Amino acid sequence: MSNANPGATAPAFSAEQTRWLEASLAQLDRNAMCELVAGMVGIPSPTGEERPLAEHLAQRLKCNGLDGACQVIDAGQANALGRYRGTGGGADLLLYAPIDTHLTGIPEEDLPWAGPSIRPDLKPEATLADGLVIGLCAENSKGFASCVISAAEAVARAGVPLRGDLLIGLGAGGMPTNTRPVLGRHNTGQGNGCSFMLEQGFRGDFAVIAKGGWAVAWEEVGLSWFRIRVHGDLGYTGLRRRLNNRNPIVLVTKLIEGLEAWFPEYTKANTSGLVEPEGSIGAIEGGWTYKPTFIPAACDVYLDLRLSPRTDPMAARAQLLAALDRIKAANPGLELSCEMLLAVPGASTPQDNWIIQSGIRAWEAVAGQTHVPRTGTSGATDANILRGRGIPTARIGIPPPRRPVPYAGTFSMGVVELDGMMELTKCLVRVVIDTCTRERSELGLAH
């Protein structure tokens, strides 16, 4: 990329670009979008088992004017890819969204950790209710993927003569998870599908990822996982008073109290730009569930520590170790060890980059107001994979519902409003016309 970066000073749409935009927007159909997202919800795609959905989407793209392909990773996992070819001389733009789900909808696997029962918004079956689609990941990620598909199909049906190629990436393994117990391969999540796609040469000069947040974002947090082990002594209920062994399951409460007090300090120390990185304890493991008579010699605590783009994973680790030293000092006899299990650094794109400014122009046109960036964010996505591989990337999401919706106030990615999907799709169409109908030199790109 050249040093010139004309994103903030791009000329307004020409009369021809305006006609192409209007023709593309006229192709958008709310009912068709509803059928698309409902159909996607109905095809289970837990992380590591996305291939049936990827095959379905690849065939759909083929039938709607795009070169569709299923990019196989292994027997169960695959990406769906699409391409609408330009005439040449322009920039290639990748519209990207993951397609996997954080839960399976299978009671034996999801319960009781997802709740006492599987709610409708956590089931891989769609329910339609007054402009809403409810079902497992109906918003995130299948609603976002539906917007990407709908935008690309609209441009293709309108026959817009793009200069650069429009690429569609629908990635497996987008959820922040390692392998599920039923799968053999370890690296099924953490952006595995996105990384594989890029390694195999399917990439653009710019990218837009459709993920949460009704604004244009140019940076977000990464994430790091740690296992902290509380050490104790192997014991037995029948000899508890005589041996006076250290029970690490009891001692772990001291660690948890200390970590919960430290997380806000970590957040404050690492907040900058758009991000406000948080930390949380997500799992505890200790002892034999089939023989609780015996006290284990260790109890493990697993935590997720989010990373600012300006905080290296090892710098975050150093902050955690310093906090653990203070916790041990406050609790004599507490013996701890710490291991980093995962590190996905945060990443950013310069705010004045073409794709960020194009996204902002599109957002303002659709929202009808001046763009205000979302700050205080702590959510990580495959945008870190895209940016980390050198692709300037904007992140744009679906507007929040403008009315009360089921499961509001709970953690639910399974309710999406069709009106909001339409707004994001219009944004994506505008970015495509703005970016892919110009010569590379207009975008600050080398020929």
What pTM value is reported for the model?
0.95
Residue 7 is predicted with a pLDDT of 58
Residue 6 pLDDT = 59
Secondary structure of residue 156 in the 3-state scheme: helix
Residues near 187 by beta carbon (within 8 Å), at least 6 away in sequence: 173, 178, 179
Model pLDDT for residues 392-408, shown as the tens digit of each residue? 999 999 999 988 999 99
Amino acid at 348: S
Q: Which ranges of 172-245 does DSSP label H, i.e. alpha helix?
A: 192-199, 240-243
Q: Which of the following CATH numbers is that of domain 222-344: 1.25.40.10, 3.30.200.20, 3.30.450.20, 3.30.70.360?
A: 3.30.70.360
d(C-alpha 384, C-alpha 399), whole Å: 22
Inter-residue contact 23 to 151 (CB < 8 Å):
no
Alpha-carbon distance of 377 to 309, in angstroms, equals: 12
Residue 44: what pLDDT? 97
What whole-number distance in Å separates Cα of residue 271 and Cα of residue 378?
A: 10
Report residues of the chain scoring pLDDT below 50. Answer: 1-4
Question: If you search the block for the tokens 């996997």, which residue do you land on?
Answer: 100
**pLDDT tens, residue by residue, 133-146:** 999 999 999 999 99
Q: Return the DSSP state at 282.
A: E
Residue ranges of domains in the chain: 6-220+347-443, 222-344
Exposure string of 61-83, with b = 16+ CB inside 10 Å and e = fewer, is beebbbebbbbebeebbbbbbbb
Contact 327, 259 (CB under 8 A): yes
Q: Is 224 in contact with 312 (CB distance < 8 Å)?
A: no
Distance, CA of 388 to chain centre:
14
Q: What is each CA distance from 141 to 3, 96, 147, 170, 229, in whole angstroms?
A: 35, 11, 10, 10, 34
**Looking at the domain that runs over 6-220+347-443, which CATH code has it been given?**
3.40.630.10
C-alpha span between 124 and 101 (Å, rounded): 9
Residues 6+ apart with CB under 8 A from 4: 444
Q: What is the DSSP letter of 101?
A: B
pLDDT at 2: 40
- Name, in order, each residue with C-beta under 8 angstroms of 291's C-beta and a sequence gap of 6 or more: none
The Cα–Cα gap between 357 and 348 comes to 14
What's the one-letter identity of residue 74?
A: D
Q: Kindly give the interhelix angle for 354-367 and 418-436, rounded to the nearest 10 degrees.
A: 140
Give the bridge partners for 394, in sequence order. Answer: 208
446 alpha-carbon distance from chain centroid: 31
As a whole number of angstroms, the distance between CA 429 and CA 25 comes to 7
Residue 29: its H or E element? none
Neighbouring-strand partners of residue 297: none
Residues 307 and 314: beta-carbon distance below 8 Å? no
Residue 205 neighbours by CB under 8 Å, 6+ apart: 1, 91, 92, 93, 164, 391, 392, 440, 443, 445
Contact 71, 80 (CB under 8 A): yes
